[in-house]
Amino acid sequence: VVIDVLRATTTMAVMFHRGLESLLAVEDIEAAHRAREASSDALLFGERHGLKPEGFDYGNSPAEAAALDLHGRHAIHATTNGTRALCAVAGGQGVVVAAALVNASAVAEFSRTFESVTLVCAGNGGANQFSLEDYATAATIAQDIHAHCPDAELGDGALLSMQIAEPAGLVARGTHADVLREFGFDDDLEFALRKDEAGCVPVVRSCGPGWAVLERA
Amino acid sequence: VVIDVLRATTTMAVMFHRGLESLLAVEDIEAAHRAREASSDALLFGERHGLKPEGFDYGNSPAEAAALDLHGRHAIHATTNGTRALCAVAGGQGVVVAAALVNASAVAEFSRTFESVTLVCAGNGGANQFSLEDYATAATIAQDIHAHCPDAELGDGALLSMQIAEPAGLVARGTHADVLREFGFDDDLEFALRKDEAGCVPVVRSCGPGWAVLERA
Q: Which residues of B80-91 are buried (b: 16+ CB within 10 A; e: fewer)?
A: bbbbbbbbebbe
pTM (predicted TM-score): 0.92
The span from the CA of B71 to the CA of B74, in Å, is: 9
Contacting residues of B for A162, CB less than 8 Å apart:
none
| Cα-trace Rg, chain A | 16
Looking at residue B90, its pLDDT comes to: 85
Residue B169 contacts A where some CB pair is shorter than 8 Å: no
Q: Is the pLDDT of residue B200 over 90?
A: yes
Q: Which residues contact A131 (CB under 8 A, 6 or more apart)?
A: A6, A121, A122, A123, A124, A174, A176, B156
User: How are the residues of chain B apportioned to helix, strand and coil, as percentages rounded to the nearest 5?
Assistant: 40, 20, 40
Sheet holding B98-99, edge to edge: B98-99, B2-3, B120-121
For residue B127, what pLDDT band results from cuts at 50, 70 and 90? Answer: low
CA A216 to centroid of chain Cα atoms:
13
For residue B102, what pLDDT band results from cuts at 50, 70 and 90? Answer: very high
Type of residue numbered A157 = G
Specify the pairing of strand A211-216 against strand A22-26. antiparallel
**What digits encode the pLDDT tens for the residues B29-49?**
999 999 999 999 999 999 988
For residue B88, what pLDDT band results from cuts at 50, 70 and 90? Answer: confident
Contact at CB, B132 and A165, closer than 8 angstroms: no
**What digits encode the pLDDT tens for the residues A157-204?**
999 999 999 999 999 999 999 999 999 999 999 999 999 999 999 999
The span from the CA of B117 to the CA of A79, in Å, is: 31
**What digits encode the pLDDT tens for the residues B148-199?**
999 999 999 999 999 999 999 999 999 999 999 999 999 999 999 999 999 9
Pairwise pLDDT comparison (B117 vs B50), residue with the higher score: B117
Chain B nearest C-alpha distance from A165 (Å):
8
Contacting residues of B for A174, CB less than 8 Å apart:
156, 159
> 3-state SS string over chain A?
CEECCCCHHHHHHHHHHCCCCEEEEECCHHHHHHHHHHCCCCEEEECECCECCCCCCECCCHHHHCCCCCCCCEEEEECHHHHHHHHHHCCCCCCCEEECHHHHHHHHHHHCCCCCCCCEECCECCCCECCHHHHHHHHHHHHHHHHHCCCCCCCHHHHHHCCCCCHHHHHHHCHHHHHHHHHCCHHHHHHHCCCCCCCCCEEEEEEECCEEEEEEC
Model ipTM value: 0.89
Instruction: Calculate what percentage of chain B has a pLDDT beyond 70.
Output: 99
The residues in B 176-205 lying below 8 A from A, measured between CB atoms, are: 176
User: Can you tell me the mean pLDDT for B70-84?
Assistant: 94
Residue B164 contacts A where some CB pair is shorter than 8 Å: yes
The residues in A 55-94 lying below 8 A from B, measured between CB atoms, are: none
Chain B nearest C-alpha distance from A131 (Å):
6
Contacting residues of B for A172, CB less than 8 Å apart:
none
Quick one: B41 exposed, middle or buried, by C-beta within 10 A (0-12, 13-18, 19+)?
Answer: exposed
CB atoms within 10 A of CB B49: 6
Contacting residues of A for B163, CB less than 8 Å apart:
163-165, 170
Give the nearest chain B residue to A154 (CA atoms): B175
- HSE at residue B89, side-chain half, CA atoms within 13 A, is 21
**Residues of chain A scoring pLDDT < 50:** none
The span from the CA of B124 to the CA of A133, in Å, is: 23
The residues in B 94-123 lying below 8 A from A, measured between CB atoms, are: none
Looking at residue A126, its pLDDT comes to: 64
Contact at CB, A170 and B163, closer than 8 angstroms: yes
Specify the pairing of strand B43-46 against strand B74-78. parallel
- HSE at residue B184, side-chain half, CA atoms within 13 A, is 1
| C-alpha pair distances (Å), A180 with each of A3, A117, A189, B119 | 17, 30, 7, 26
Contact at CB, A159 and B165, closer than 8 angstroms: no
Cis before A7? omega within 30: yes
